Amino acid sequence: MAKAYTPGLLVTRHKKHRIMRRLPIAGDVQVKVNQQVTADDIVAETNLPGDVHPINLANTMSLPPADVVTCMLKAEGESIALDEPLAESKGLFGMFKTVVNSRYEGTVETVSPVTGQVIIRGAPLPVQVKAYMSGEVVNVTEGEGCEIEADVAYVQGIFGVGGEIQGNIKIACVSHDQDLDSDLIREDMKGCVVIGGARMTASSIRRAMEVGAAAIISGGIDDHDLKELLGYDLGVAITGRENLGITVIVTEGFGDISMAERTFEMLREFEGRLASVNGATQIRAGVMRPEIIVPLEAGPPPAASGKFEEGQLEVGRTLRVIRDPWFGMIGTVSGLPTEPHVLGSGSKARVLEVTFPSGEKAVVPRANVELIEE
Amino acid sequence: MTRVLCSLLILLGVAPCIAVGQVVDLAPPTDVAASDVPDDTGGQIAVKWGLSPQDRPAADGSNPVLSYVIYRKLVQTGRGLESGAETDAGAGEIIFTSDFDYEANRPVGSVPYSVTEFLDENVEGGVTYVYAVAAAGPGDSFSPLAVAAIPVTAKMQYINQGKLWFLIIMMVISIVIVYFVFYAKRGGKIKVRPIAGLEAVTEAVGRSTEMGKPVLFVPGILDINDIQTVAGITVLSNVARTAAQYDAELKVPTARSLVMTTARETVQAAYLGEGRPDAYNEDNIYYLTDEQFGYTAGVQGAMVREKPAACFYMGAFYAESLILAETANSIGAIQIAGTAMPSQLPFFVAACDYTLIGEEFFAASAYLSNDPEQLGSLKGQDVGKIIAAFLLILGCLLATLSTVLPAVAPLRMADLYIMNNVLGEDGLIPDEERVTMLNNEINELWEAQKAEPAIDEGAN
Amino acid sequence: MTNLDPDKIKVILATDCGSTTTKAILIQYVDGEYRQTHRGEAPTTVEKPFADVTMGVVNSVTEIAELAGRRLVGDDGRIISPATETDGCDIYISTSSAGGGLQMMVAGVIAEMTAASAKRAALGAGSIVMDVIAANDGRRPHDQIQRIRDLRPDMILISGGTDGGTTGKVVQISELVAPAKPQPRFGSDYSMPIIYAGNKDAREPVSEVFSEGGFDLQIVDNLRPVLERENLGPARDKIHDIFLEHVMAQAPGYDKLMGWTGAPIMPTPGAVGDILQTVARLQEINVVGVDIGGATTDVFSVFDETFNRTVSANLGMSYSISNVCAEATMPNVLRWVPFDMNERELRNHVKNKMIRPTTIPQTREALMFEQAVAREALRLAYKQHKEFATTLKGVQQQRTVGDTFSQQTSGQTIVDNMKLDLLVASGGVLSHAPRMHQTAMMLIDAFEPEGVTMLAKDSIFMMPHLGVLSSVHAKAAEQVFDRDCLVYLGTSVCAAGTPKPGKTCFKYELTGDRTASGEIIGGQMLLIPMAEGESGTISLAPARGIDLGEGPGKKVQKTVRGGTVGLILDGRGRTLTLPEDRSSCQSTVQGWLDALDVYAETTESMAV
């Protein structure tokens, strides 16, 4: 087998990271190439067309649709205020006229002679796109958005809820395998990105929301606690639009699981620095994982370790088992048998042999491990 | 004024009997007795007597007694004289005296000869009367008065014993209804059989929208006081809601102005309820004419001109049913009819896509609203119908069996009980007289049967 | 695109780029017939960091090449074509559902009528229908506009009105779509394709509505010219055209892939539908096919030559596993598991599968749980399918007085389990189950077939490949389908009705290659071994009220065919009910599993 691709989550101390900031519809990009931006800067702005309100004048005025046009007091494109007369019927010899007032504010967009419907468009809704990550604008697509690049430390989580936010990193747990409980959340964590160790409890998330933390990050979370936090049972892992007031990210998975030691140590190193955090997760085609970005001073990228090719299974590589019965355990590859192996479930699958730090060895399907990128 | 007229009428009615107040030699009736009529509101007294010995045809075929005349007198109570009627009938005179003036006193009534009872329905409750009966012969001759021994007072009874079974059945059904209403309110599931015609409302209205044609709703030709029209309006409300959702044009021609007003209200409320007040057009619900065939012609014309894609007929229909249904069928409309007119149902069934038959039509409102109160009462009524059907079958069986086997006492008794107590007015306890009569009859039958085999044996 | 003489095609390479895996098969002309000889798999590489679908294709083809000992990928990274004696293939074809497949939004006037027809057309073409906009969908116009704005479909299909029917409503729907200015999913550098397949009288006003604002309006014949008839062909073809022209061209690497293939790339589900319809037509049978994937479950049915397809978004075994558990509820899932499980662990376990969708169960317990979830996912998907696959609504009925008390509404489901002849399973959890018995059991539990039904599985999900192949080389497709595609599991004989527990449900007598006779009691299941290729005749005498195909209590005689599992006799009745009580439910389920030998003991220990 030439290439055995087993993706892992990216955790790196230093990389050149580029993000695309894009408007939902065409608008103005307010930055130029080579401009330095900070996370809070607005890089692009536009007005979303306002809400559309159809009014059926043909019915309201008991008219054939084709006659509606002749009764309009406002032409297409004219603006109209609330309760301002919109149309008036011809009446009988100039008497018994019916006047219809607009129930909406906006501009008359169309008057349809086919349906007798008038469409009034409300005021445009301004939309602003922030830089999200401090760095340098490297590319501008006029009218659409820009690309920002920076040297960053980058941690990919496995799952998160909540959207983009910034804050200073604050470490709450002393070690990577300590549960994050509510007593570890302190008042001075307001606006901070709180880093925990192993499982975060529901009470710790509530407490973090109370003190006004920007984000809370730890190794694992119980499904039950997540359900309590969201108020519903999450069906598909497409998140990022929750309005919780806090962004929650787990780096490893559900249940009692500690954060990878390397991740924890790296974040500890960056304590106090400003981090950009996004909990948006989309596990589907076009997979999106939650991320923690810590912008660094620009500098030459560190020499690539070069020990292993990215995404390549080889003897000696560190990996994590991601399915029971050894869920969450970290070990090294000690054998890569080529022949498919019959599992306890009775299925045949390609496997590998992994050695855990305790010296115990196990045979695990290749599908059930993920590489820890170094 | 009225009283005078009344008196005049009474006078005219009884005039022949009392024209001359002369006592002739007629034997008076015997054993006069008056008694309060049981199980009433206290306005009746029954008077009974034995026939005058002369009340039989004489040799020439004529009867010396032509009728019996009933008189009454008020017995003075502490409250004094209260009844106005008594003044005419001889107030002041407390008791019947021997010099009773047949002419001056108006009788409370008279009955022909050989009748031995009279029901005085014009008495006042709580007042005590004494009754007397005289036999009247030809030529205004009267027998001496036979006076009832005991005065009588009409009393009101709170329960009509004769209708106890009615009460019991009504109570059972009411309790069942109340039970099911509460059951439904508590969230209990009451299953109403899907009524295809109502399920198809969305389909019919949807068809109209897709084809860009109106929906035509005909609420029958009777006025709003007819229960079928009311049921039709309930369905109209549902059709209007669907039309509002589906954005279909709904047209309702009516034959009565009141129905039009009600229909407008209903449709407007439905559109409002669906949040589409702008889609409501009052002009689409209009009055044509009260004339049955003028109306029919008008509706037919609308059908042919506008070619509605869905037609509803919900209400009371007569001869126009098939005219409408056939016309709409010829233009390819989906038709849903609902009526309780038995004579028109076959036409609708044959010509329409769906038909709500009688009871279904009335159940529609419960079915459509899903309102626990309506559903519960629907279910309770069903239980009532089951009880009625059960009694019906039981009664038929018993009646048949007791005719086939007239000598089996329990069967005859049960038949008697259902006929006279459950369905009749004998109350809970069988009437002794009837039981005795029945027993006698059965005994006779047994005797006859016993005798017959003996003859048979003899013959063998 | 190459036009090859079918007779010269000897080596066919086909790939299916799924959302997680790319599957390749090699079909070769061996000893006078076409056979599928090798297969290979590799993860799909549409997403970042690769963002080039051809990498996964090359990986999967490389695997075949290794197995077949035939060089298929050249040094330039392209598939070698045409073939020589030892290298390359004569034709390369592909289907695709990667990148989320073909995503569409459809609109019609009435949800149950033209909008339903439009949905059927879109689904039949193999797309995922993101939303259906209709005049009566219960949403206010501005909510509808908001929804259209939020969606980023690949294309929009608008229908509505019969020919000569409503114009106003169709224009009204268009007037909702146009100002919402929906953005295509991939990039903004091409116009949003809009297919109009509605009332022909409304073509002009609709074109006017879409004349500005960057739409690419295509007009085809009305898909519901009268309410009594559907005409889905033109709309379907147009969807395929646009799929190739616009959507595929935008997805990463597809422009390259399109250059390699010898036939148009088809959306995977569309190809599956094609092959099932062909089979149903040729063999004159009613077929239900199911493909349970990671995110969605597709159900296909052909009843009396009417084809229907539904996609149950969010019912799947990995991405959507959590949703299945939420929709079906945990107790419903656990009723199929004959042992106790810790609910908290289970919930975390389900979520972990959701966020790491590619993992496979390693232990027997994990497998049993996953198969329990599969039963519920299939059951829910089939339920949705039954609700969608109906006769046309809004049709005028012809009545006689005889119908007085039996008035049926139109729009009844056409899915009738009693008339079902063949049930085909595909998708990882069904076709990769360690034992075929598990597949058979899952199918029977979830679909509840009635009477005599053949069970089969598409072992390696070859149906999409064959669907495309049938358009290029029908003979080859037919031969491969017959010999290699379906793996017959056996025949199920299931009693419909409510059999009394402990009393006779039906008596049977089997003659032919195997002989057996006896009786099935209520609630019992029995497996009679009957190997693939064997067949026989079964005579069935059901108890009163039990239906086996000819009506309650009527005797039945049918030909049955063996398979890798055998003949399955099911006396549990329909609809299938399990005991409420947890422990008696466990023992009941265990009894069924034992009767069918579903989970044979495996002794191999995993620790080394």
**Is B436 inside a domain boundary?**
yes
**Is A129 inside a domain boundary?**
no
- Between vectors from CA B429 to CA B424 and to CA B432, what angle results, nearest 5°? 90
B210 with C407: Cβ contact below 8 A: no
Q: Which domains does chain C have, with CATH numbers?
A: 6-98 (3.30.420), 101-251 (3.40.50.360), 287-392+410-595 (no CATH)
Q: How many CA atoms lie within 13 A of A15 on its CB side?
A: 16
**DSSP assignment of A301-352, as one string?**
PPPP--SS-TTB--TT-EEEE-STTSTT-EEEEEE--SS-EE-TTS-EE-EE
Q: How many CA atoms lie within 13 A of C449 on its CB side?
A: 28
At which of A260, A295, A330 does a domain end? A295
Q: What is the mean pLDDT of chain C?
A: 86
C67 touches chain A (CB under 8 A): no
User: Which amino acid, C555?
Assistant: K
B213 touches chain C (CB under 8 A): yes
Alpha helix segments (H runs only) across C395-534 = 428-431, 436-447, 463-472, 474-480
Token pair of B360, please? 């279904």
Bridge partners, B110 (sequence order) = B69
B344 touches chain C (CB under 8 A): no
Q: In B, which residues are within 8 Å of C227 by CB distance?
A: 207, 210-211
Per-residue pLDDT at B303: 94
Average pLDDT of the segment spanning C34-41:
88
Per-residue pLDDT at B18: 39
Per-residue pLDDT at C490: 92
Q: Are C245 and C216 in contact (CB under 8 A)?
A: no
Low-confidence ranges of chain B (pLDDT < 50): 1-2, 5-20, 80-93, 457-460
**Is A155 inside a domain boundary?**
yes
Bridge partners, C493 (sequence order) = C452, C569
Do residue B71 and residue B204 come from a single domain? no
**DSSP assignment of C475-486, as one string?**
HHHHHHIIIIIE
B278 with A56: Cβ contact below 8 A: yes
Most confident among A24-33, A166-175, A307-316 (mean pLDDT): A166-175
Do residue A109 and residue A158 come from a single domain? no
B353 with C399: Cβ contact below 8 A: yes
Other beta carbons within 10 angstroms of residue B372's beta carbon come to 19
Per-residue pLDDT at B240: 94
Average pLDDT of the segment spanning C470-477:
81
The set of chains that have 3 or more CB pairs under 8 A with C is A, B
B196 with C401: Cβ contact below 8 A: no
Average pLDDT of the segment spanning A308-329:
77
A56 touches chain B (CB under 8 A): yes
Do residue A203 and residue A82 come from a single domain? no
Per-residue pLDDT at B14: 41
A114 with C205: Cβ contact below 8 A: yes
Q: In B, which residues are within 8 Å of A55 by CB distance?
A: 278
Do residue B129 and residue B251 come from a single domain? no
Do residue B362 and residue B399 come from a single domain? no
Token pair of B98, please? 């021997």
In the predicted structure, residue C188 carries a pLDDT above the cut 60: no
Q: In B, which residues are within 8 Å of C176 by CB distance?
A: none
Spacing of C-alpha A354 from chain mean position: 34
Cα C81 to Cα C61: distance, rounded to the nearest angstrom: 13
Average pLDDT of the segment spanning A276-303:
79
| pLDDT tens sequence across C230-274 | 898 899 889 988 887 777 777 788 888 888 888 888 888 888 888
**Is A131 inside a domain boundary?**
no
**Which range marks the domain in which residue A240 is found?**
148-295
Number of B:C CB contacts under 8 A? 92
At which of A295, A327, A362 does a domain end? A295
Q: What is the CATH number of the domain that holds A96?
A: 2.40.50
Other beta carbons within 10 angstroms of residue C510's beta carbon come to 21
B278 with A62: Cβ contact below 8 A: no
3-class DSSP assignment, residue C288: strand
**Is B184 inside a domain boundary?**
no
Per-residue pLDDT at B460: 43
At which of B121, B153, B185 does a domain end? B153
How many domains does chain B divide into? 3
Q: Are C271 and C468 in contact (CB under 8 A)?
A: yes
The model's pTM is: 0.76
Residues in CB range of A20: below 8 A, 6 or more apart: A145, A146, A147
The alpha-carbon gap from A139 to the nearest alpha carbon of chain C, in Å, equals 17
Q: How many CA atoms lie within 13 A of C310 on its CB side?
A: 21
Percent of chain C past pLDDT 70, that is, above it, reads: 96
Do residue A252 and residue A192 come from a single domain? yes
Which of C348, C359, C435 lies nearest to residue A368, judging by beta carbons?
C359
Q: Are A150 and A135 in contact (CB under 8 A)?
A: yes
Radius of gyration of chain A (CA): 28
Other beta carbons within 10 angstroms of residue C266's beta carbon come to 28
Radius of gyration of chain B (CA): 34
Cα B385 to Cα B382: distance, rounded to the nearest angstrom: 5
Q: In A, which residues are within 8 Å of C98 by CB distance?
A: 285
Parallel, antiparallel or unpaired: strands C91-96 and C266-267: parallel
Cα B107 to Cα B109: distance, rounded to the nearest angstrom: 5
A285 with C98: Cβ contact below 8 A: yes
Per-residue pLDDT at B6: 46
Give the confidence band of A195 by pLDDT, cuts at 50, 70, 90: very high
Give the confidence band of C181 by pLDDT, cuts at 50, 70, 90: confident
Average pLDDT of the segment spanning C395-422:
81
Q: What is the CATH number of the domain that holds A185?
A: 3.50.30.10
Q: With CA atoms as reference, report the closest residue to C524 among C583, C584, C580, C594.
A: C594
Do residue A94 and residue A177 come from a single domain? no
**Nearest chain B Cα to A56, which residue?**
B278
A281 with C355: Cβ contact below 8 A: yes
**Is B11 inside a domain boundary?**
no
B281 with A62: Cβ contact below 8 A: yes
List phi, psi (to 5°) of B152. -135, 150
**Is B331 inside a domain boundary?**
yes
Which of C47, C175, C361 lies nearest to residue A112, judging by beta carbons?
C175
Do residue B113 and residue B216 come from a single domain? no
How many domains does chain A divide into? 3
Q: Are C198 and B210 in contact (CB under 8 A)?
A: no
At which of A64, A86, A121 does a domain end? A121
**Nearest chain A Cα to C345, which residue?**
A255
Give the confidence band of C385 by pLDDT, cuts at 50, 70, 90: very high
Do residue B209 and residue B351 come from a single domain? yes
Average pLDDT of the segment spanning C142-156:
80
Parallel, antiparallel or unpaired: strands A159-161 and B67-74: unpaired
Q: What is the CATH number of the domain that holds B210?
A: 3.40.50
Where in C89-239 does DSSP place strands (E)?
A: 91-96, 102-108, 127-134, 155-158, 192-196, 215-219
Other beta carbons within 10 angstroms of residue C1's beta carbon come to 9
Q: In C, which residues are within 8 Å of A353 by CB distance?
A: 608
- Between vectors from CA B54 to CA B52 and to CA B58, what angle results, nearest 5°? 150
B353 with C136: Cβ contact below 8 A: no
Do residue B35 and residue B116 come from a single domain? yes
Cα B129 to Cα B123: distance, rounded to the nearest angstrom: 9
B275 touches chain C (CB under 8 A): yes
3-class DSSP assignment, residue B429: coil
Do residue A328 and residue A248 come from a single domain? no
Per-residue pLDDT at C607: 33
Indicate the DSSP class of residue B326: H
Q: In C, which residues are within 8 Å of A365 by CB distance?
A: 359-360, 362
The set of chains that have 3 or more CB pairs under 8 A with B is A, C
Residue holding tokens 């981090």? Answer: A275
Spacing of C-alpha C261 from chain mean position: 24
Per-residue pLDDT at A298: 65
C566-570, strands of its sheet edge to edge: C306-313, C296-303, C287-292, C422-426, C451-458, C486-494, C566-570, C525-528
Per-residue pLDDT at A102: 85
**Nearest chain A Cα to B276, which residue?**
A56
Do residue B358 and residue B378 come from a single domain? no
Q: Are C97 and C71 in contact (CB under 8 A)?
A: no
**Which range marks the domain in which residue B422 is found?**
374-459
Cα A294 to Cα A217: distance, rounded to the nearest angstrom: 14
Per-residue pLDDT at B277: 78
C109 with B332: Cβ contact below 8 A: no
Cα C213 to Cα C175: distance, rounded to the nearest angstrom: 12
Do residue B366 and residue B380 come from a single domain? no
Percent of chain C past pLDDT 90, that is, above it, reads: 28
C399 with B206: Cβ contact below 8 A: no
A60 with B282: Cβ contact below 8 A: no
Do residue B304 and residue B453 come from a single domain? no
- The sign of the CA dihedral A200, A201, A206, A210 is negative
3-class DSSP assignment, residue C523: coil
Do residue A240 and residue A359 come from a single domain? no
- The sign of the CA dihedral C572, C575, C576, C581 is negative
In the predicted structure, residue C158 carries a pLDDT above the cut 90: yes
Helix, strand, coil abundance in chain C, percent, nearest 5: 35, 25, 40
Do residue B43 and residue B140 come from a single domain? yes
A175 touches chain B (CB under 8 A): no
C161 with B245: Cβ contact below 8 A: no
Which of B246, B353, B355 lies nearest to residue C396, judging by beta carbons?
B353
Other beta carbons within 10 angstroms of residue A153's beta carbon come to 21
Q: In B, which residues are within 8 Å of A59 by CB distance?
A: 278-281
**Residues in B 235-254 with any Cβ partner in C closer than 8 A:** 245-247
What are the CA-CA distances from residue A40 to residues A275, B310, C6, C169 (Å)? 12, 61, 63, 46
Q: Are B150 and B31 in contact (CB under 8 A)?
A: no
3-class DSSP assignment, residue B138: coil
Residues in CB range of C520: below 8 A, 6 or more apart: C495, C504, C505, C506, C507, C508, C526, C569, C570, C571
**Is B453 inside a domain boundary?**
yes
Cα B322 to Cα B337: distance, rounded to the nearest angstrom: 11
Do residue A157 and residue A97 come from a single domain? no
| pLDDT tens sequence across C279-321 | 888 788 899 999 888 878 889 999 998 888 888 878 888 888 9
Give the confidence band of A314 by pLDDT, cuts at 50, 70, 90: confident
C141 touches chain A (CB under 8 A): yes
Identify the residue among A310, A323, A363 best suited for mutation to test binding to C, counting C beta carbons within 10 A and taking the highest.
A323
Do residue A261 and residue A353 come from a single domain? no
Do residue B431 and residue B455 come from a single domain? yes
A56 with B282: Cβ contact below 8 A: no
| pLDDT tens sequence across B11-38 | 444 433 333 455 567 788 888 888 888 8
> Does residue C284 come out as left (phi exceeding 0), alpha (psi in the -120 to 50 range) or beta?
left
Do residue B363 and residue B378 come from a single domain? no
Identify the residue among C355, C365, C376, C432 best suited for mutation to test binding to A, counting A beta carbons within 10 A and taking the highest.
C355
The alpha-carbon gap from C217 to the nearest alpha carbon of chain A, in Å, equals 19
Least confident of A328-342, B3-17, C81-95, C518-532: B3-17
Give the confidence band of A221 by pLDDT, cuts at 50, 70, 90: very high
